[in-house]
């Protein structure tokens, strides 16, 4: 193929070659052969295959076995794209779910997002105006004391958890957990049951429970949380609150699944 806009020049930097290969592979959701990639970029077949193999070694590309070798976007690149989900898009499509959740439980509800080692609230619905100062969109959530943060952190790599929590942690109330071993055990339990708790750990008298938004094969970046007085969240209606927040989290997970299916369809 001779389209000059698609030919790689010998003077181009090596990184540009990798990027151009990824751009082509991303344009073929059902896969593309290394031979086609080499033709589209004007590269010798051996050079194209060598570059593709390098990308497979870092899981940016998946390559099936010969003789029908086919390249596809790799899991690691999918995860990078997933982690960069557009917050504005997610707030718009998830807001109706959040409204329905708040209406069903009669409590303040919000969505949280993990990015750059910080968990922040993205959007909220608070039937009780007294809670609006407690949940501010964009506010950072304490990783060791907020249910929404714990629900996300429990699904991260153990080395990252250790890096974030195995250090002096602020004690907000007498109930704030600051011991790393105790926190690690709690996060293991969160991952086991799919629910995280905060019982008077960041603000005395207030509690929360949160569920992670889990999409299989992708890192957990979001959670949905119900918060209010300890009496309303934990001491009464706990089981109903858990069922409701888990249902909302599953609905949000379906939205993210469709988002990334659509992204790859558009690339083609």
Enter the pTM of the model.
0.72
Tell me the C-alpha distance between 180 and 161, whole Å: 10
Closest by Cα among 195, 136, 130, 141 to 164: 141
Tell me: do 70 and 93 sit in the same domain: no
Q: Tell me, what's the pLDDT at 247?
A: 97
Q: Is 148:119 a contact under the CB 8 Å cutoff?
A: yes
What pLDDT is attached to residue 42? 86
220 plus 175 within the same structural domain: yes
Per-residue pLDDT, 79: 66
Last-in-domain residue among 24, 44, 78: 78
Q: What is the pLDDT of residue 143?
A: 96
pLDDT at 31: 86
Would you state the pLDDT for residue 260?
Answer: 65
Q: How far apart are CA 248 and CA 217, in angstroms?
A: 20
Quote the domain boundaries for residue 37.
Answer: 14-78
Is residue 5, in this structure, part of any structural domain at all? no
- CB crowding 63-98: b at 16 or more within 10 Å, else e: beeeeeebbbbbeebbeebbeebebeebeeebeebb
204/114 Cα distance (integer angstroms): 24
Q: Out of 52, 78, 104, pick the residue that ends a domain.
A: 78
Q: What is the DSSP letter of 131?
A: G
Asked if residue 4 is part of any domain, the answer here is: no
State which of 54, 78, 102 marks the end of a domain: 78
Q: What is the pLDDT along the chain (268 residues), one digit of tens a residue?
A: 334 334 444 445 778 888 888 888 888 878 889 999 988 888 898 988 899 999 999 889 998 877 778 998 887 777 666 666 677 788 888 899 999 999 999 999 999 999 878 999 989 887 754 454 456 667 889 999 999 999 999 999 999 999 999 999 999 999 999 999 999 999 999 999 999 999 999 989 999 999 999 998 788 999 999 998 999 999 988 999 999 999 999 999 998 887 766 554 444 4
Pair 131, 152 in one domain = yes
**Does residue 212 belong to any structural domain of this protein?**
yes
Query: Is 187 within a domain?
Result: yes
User: pLDDT at position 244, please?
Assistant: 97
């Amino acid at each position: 193929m001779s389209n000059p806009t698609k030919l790689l020049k010998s003077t181009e930097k090596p990184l540009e070659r990798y990027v151009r290969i990824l751009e082509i592979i991303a344009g073929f959701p059902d896969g593309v052969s290394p031979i086609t990639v080499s033709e589209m970029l004007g590269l010798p077949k051996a050079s194209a295959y060598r570059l593709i193999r390098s990308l497979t070694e870092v899981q940016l590309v998946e390559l099936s076995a010969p003789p029908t070798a086919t390249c596809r976007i790799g899991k690691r690149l999918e995860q990078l794209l997933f982690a960069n989900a557009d917050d504005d898009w997610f707030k718009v499509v998830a807001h109706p779910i959040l409204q329905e959740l708040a209406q069903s439980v009669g409590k303040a509800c919000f969505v949280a997002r993990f990015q750059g080692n910080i968990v922040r609230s993205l959007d909220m619905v608070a039937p009780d105006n007294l809670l609006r100062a407690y949940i501010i969109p964009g506010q950072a959530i304490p990783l060791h004391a907020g249910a929404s943060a714990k629900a996300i952190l429990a699904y991260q790599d153990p080395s990252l958890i250790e890096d974030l929590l195995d250090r002096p942690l602020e004690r907000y109330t007498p109930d704030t957990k600051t011991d790393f071993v105790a926190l690690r055990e709690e996060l293991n339990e969160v991952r086991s049951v799919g629910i995280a708790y905060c019982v008077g750990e960041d603000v005395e008298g207030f509690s929360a429970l949160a569920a992670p938004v889990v999409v299989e094969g992708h890192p957990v970046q979001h959670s949905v949380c119900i918060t209010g007085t300890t009496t309303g969240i934990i001491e009464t209606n706990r089981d109903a609150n858990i069922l409701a927040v888990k249902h909302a989290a599953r609905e949000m997970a379906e939205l993210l699944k469709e988002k990334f299916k659509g992204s790859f369809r558009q690339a083609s």
